């Protein structure tokens, strides 16, 4: 990895970073079919993104297409996979092993993207000591000690939203450097901590709303 690339990575705007996984998913399908080259026009047509935007996005990775030939599919796939961090293993703790939390522990899909959940944590004594998908579940009180012994820096938060802030505070004190928040609660963390929110339920609300607009929302009153 060159220093130059590292520098360009730091300046990478979020919209670019959000488009790169689309390009990766597309070129992976081509790579699987042993297609050798792809033009930005082809990617553009397939993904509904401007060809000039694609060229600009990929230039952040110091990747340039060749005139008339385009990009080499296999090297592009490898470069995107590396750049996005998916080819590295990042160990993580998961806090809150309820329905969503244990679903994430079972979802081996995350491993393909470099996320390796090494331990779960909960406060429920009937769950502590058990395993989910072979991953041990410890008492939440042990998290700080286990962070010290393992050096894990990522924590996934899947607790009930009422507890999200308290858990986040405890994680920061336990030397966790990045929090992936799956609760709908907007937790606050110090500036030096990376916070990533994944708002599954906001996406759901958006989908319901758009269906309502289309008159295609077949819903039933329940509560």
Give the residue carrying structure tokens 């970073």. 17
The residues, any chain, with a CB within 8 Å of residue 84's CB and separated by 6 or more, are 20, 21, 24
Please tell me whether residue 130 binds a copy of itself under the rule CB under 8 A.
no
Smallest gap from residue 11 Cβ to a copy of itself (A) = 10
Please tell me whether residue 63 binds a copy of itself under the rule CB under 8 A.
no
What burial class does residue 86 get, using C-beta atoms within 10 Å of its C-beta: 0-12 exposed, 13-18 middle, 19+ buried?
middle
Contact in structure between 35 and 49 (CB atoms under 8 Å): no
Give the residue carrying structure tokens 């906001």. 202
By CB under 8 A, the count of residues binding a copy of itself is 84
Quick one: which H or E segment has residue 194?
strand 194-197
Residue/partner pairs of 47-53 with CB below 8 Å, 24 or more apart: 47/22, 47/23, 49/19, 49/22, 53/19
- Candidates 108, 125, 134, 149: give the one binding a copy of itself (CB under 8 A): 108
Smallest gap from residue 169 Cβ to a copy of itself (A) = 14
Comparing CA positions, the residue from 149, 164, 151, 102 lying closest to residue 130 is 102
- Candidates 8, 44, 72, 106: give the one binding a copy of itself (CB under 8 A): 106
Smallest gap from residue 69 Cβ to a copy of itself (A) = 24
- Residue closer to a copy of itself by CB (options 41, 66) is 41
- Residue closer to a copy of itself by CB (options 33, 68) is 33
What does the per-residue mask of binding to a copy of itself show for 145-184, with x meaning CB under 8 A?
Answer: ------xxxx------xx--------------xx-x--xx
- Candidates 26, 71, 121, 138: give the one binding a copy of itself (CB under 8 A): 26
Smallest gap from residue 139 Cβ to a copy of itself (A) = 23
Write out the binding residues for a copy of itself, residues 71-90 only, by CB under 8 A: 84-90
Please tell me whether residue 5 binds a copy of itself under the rule CB under 8 A.
no
Sign of CA dihedral 166, 170, 172, 177: negative
């Amino acid at each position: 990895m060159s220093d130059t690339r590292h520098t360009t990575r730091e300046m990478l705007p979020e919209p670019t970073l959000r488009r790169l996984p689309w390009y990766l998913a597309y070129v992976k399908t081509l790579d699987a079919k042993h297609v050798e080259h792809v033009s930005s026009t082809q990617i553009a047509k397939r993904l509904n993104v401007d060809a000039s935007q694609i060229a600009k996005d990929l230039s952040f990775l110091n990747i340039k297409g060749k005139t008339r030939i385009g990009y080499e599919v296999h090297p592009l796939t490898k470069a995107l996979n590396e750049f996005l961090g998916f080819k590295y293993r990042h160990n993580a703790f998961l806090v809150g092993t309820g329905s969503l939390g244990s679903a994430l522990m079972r979802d081996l899909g995350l491993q393909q993207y470099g996320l390796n959940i090494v331990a779960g944590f909960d406060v429920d004594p009937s769950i502590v000591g058990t395993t989910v998908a072979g991953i041990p579940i410890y008492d939440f009180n042990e998290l700080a000690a286990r962070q010290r012994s393992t050096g894990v820096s990522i924590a996934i938060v899947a607790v009930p939203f009422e507890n999200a802030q308290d858990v986040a505070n405890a994680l920061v004190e336990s030397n966790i450097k990045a929090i992936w928040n799956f609760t709908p609660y907007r937790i606050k963390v110090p500036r030096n901590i990376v916070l990533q929110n994944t708002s599954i339920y906001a996406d759901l609300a958006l989908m319901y709303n758009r269906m309502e607009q289309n008159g295609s929302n077949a819903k039933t009153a329940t509560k």
